[in-house]
Amino acid sequence: MKKTFEMDISAEVQQALKTGQPLVALESTIISHGMPYPQNLETAHAVENIIREESAVPATIAILNGRIKIGLSQHELEQFAKHTTPLKVSRRDLPLVLSQKQSGGTTVAATMICAKLAGIAVFVTGGIGGVHRESEKTMDISADLMELAQTNVAVVCAGIKSILDIPRTLEYLETQGVPVIGYKTEEFPAFYTPASGSMVQARLDTPEEIARCMKIKWELGLDGGIVIGNPVQQEDAMDDAIIQLAISAAIKDAAEKEIEGKDVTPFLLERINQLTEGESLKSNIALVCNNASLGAKIAVAYQARL
């Protein structure tokens, strides 16, 4: 059956697919909703360069004018970074955004879907979505978690965003059969800080071990992703007491403003950045770069096993 949607794969990514070069997918909501301009564009360039330095090929994924884009040109990255009203595109949004020829940044869930379509097994992000605090009242659970339960892509992150309920998120992932690996750590990272107080399923200390786990999982026919928690470097981490105060204040502000759904996380990240006088943004940028380095190493190790 002929596909109705259209997907554009950049020449660099096409060449990598053809020649068997390691590939790393990158989301675009971190550009459109996670950081202000120009830091978003600077970070996008830095992350892509880090991946290339590790002998892998970056593939930033977005929706532009109703087309899935796998690998953005420099012009497209800049255009996207400066766009003031892009949509935030998750699993449920993809059909409508594509059919209406709209543009938007892809979340973890949507990026995983597009990465799998393009044949990319490793994906680097900042932090994944999760179970929101007071979810027993709101039923607010990120679609990222359900995507991890069914889409075969390994996700390198600095943990679950610490604005969320980390223990409940890990419990949800366990229920869905998603392996949660700590890279050189037994404790799951908490985005802005290296530790959350919650333990990972297993600690693995090399990209090769992680790549082997990925390959065996999918060879067994166990569909779904893998979460690799990569702690922010200590020198780039936030002080735990300071960040927790900022998170609590930001959550209170969001409740007072009655902000709900997909608008919650972008609001909280921006408000936390304001409350920490820009320190949380610096930490965010550093952890994404750190994840890019590890993700590229995993992609190289995984490609060597194919």
Catalytic positions, please?
27, 161
Contact 126, 287 (CB under 8 A): yes
Cis peptide before 38 (omega within 30 of 0): yes
Per the DSSP assignment, residues forming a β-bridge with 61 are 70
How many Å separate Cα 76 from the centre of its chain? 20
What's the CA angle centered on 39, arms 125 and 43, to 5 degrees?
A: 40
Two tokens, residue 242: 């300071």
Torsion angle, CA of 119/124/125/131, rounded to 10 degrees? 70
First-to-last alpha carbon distance for the chain, in angstroms, is: 29
Distances in whole angstroms, Cα of residue 63 to Cα of each of 135, 157, 191:
30, 22, 26
CA 79/CA 83 separation, integer angstroms: 6
CA 237/CA 199 separation, integer angstroms: 19
CA 63/CA 118 separation, integer angstroms: 14
Two tokens, residue 278: 């820009």
Contacts of 215-218 spanning 24+ positions with Cβ under 8 A:
215/302, 215/305, 215/306, 217/179, 218/152
Contact 294, 204 (CB under 8 A): no
CB under 8 Å to 250, separation ≥6 — which residues?
163, 267, 268, 271, 272, 275
Beta pairing class for 226-229 and 180-183: parallel
